[in-house]
Amino acid sequence: MADEFNTGLYSDPTPIAVGQETPEFTMETYEPSSGSFGEVKLSELRHDGKWTVLVFYPADFTFVCPTELADLAAQDAKLTELGAKIISVSTDTKFSHLAWCQSEKLMADVKYTMGADPTGEVSSLFGVYDENTGLALRGTFIINPESKLVSSQVNYYNVGRNMEELSRIVEANVHCLAHPAEACPAKWSPGQKTLTPNEAMVGKVYEALNS
């Protein structure tokens, strides 16, 4: 059984921090778009030049979780266009993912990959594994095509996320990777002014944004 649910190569108990390179991981998956099982590897996503968006949630067949995953499904096309691979992750098995998608109407539009992390290994890598419950907290992580972790957000069990904001953060990170001298201010969205930090801007950010 342990071999069946092997989730990767990671063994260091220290969670990865923003700015660090993400170690290799592997997960079994359920693919709602085809109704089949599969596998996802970070190294393959890096090879394909993908942004990796991991959305951890506590459990299948719960209450806030399907509302979040339905909200994420509404952002799927936009995130895919940005070059991102969405992977929702819980400590359930791939079999539970399949059964949940078949029974919960809120999951009807979910087409992105659903990762299975029953050992909690990948959840531990990102610091969201709760040993007291065996579940993952509501963690959202963005990994750039170079495998660097560029964004991290963690909520407790009882507060759902806004996936539209997730799309905005991915857009900003895509922009900053393409334009490394620039920085995106609060609420930035494509087409709006960015900042190019320099000594003349110190104490003059208002003027830079409104010039």
CA distances from 171 to 62, 109, 147 (A): 30, 22, 17
∠ CA 96-114-153, rounded to 5°: 115
What is the C-alpha separation between 39 and 4, in angstroms, rounded?
12
Is 65 in the active site? yes
Looking only at the bridges linking them, the beta strands covering 51-56 and 36-41 are unpaired
What is the C-alpha separation between 21 and 12, in angstroms, rounded?
13
Q: Which of 65, 101, 176, 184 is catalytic?
A: 65
- How many CB atoms lie under 10 A from the CB of residue 49? 10
Contact 70/161 with Cβ under 8 angstroms?
Answer: no
CB within 8 Å of 34: residues ≥ 6 apart: none
Contact 201/112 with Cβ under 8 angstroms?
Answer: no
Active site residues: 65
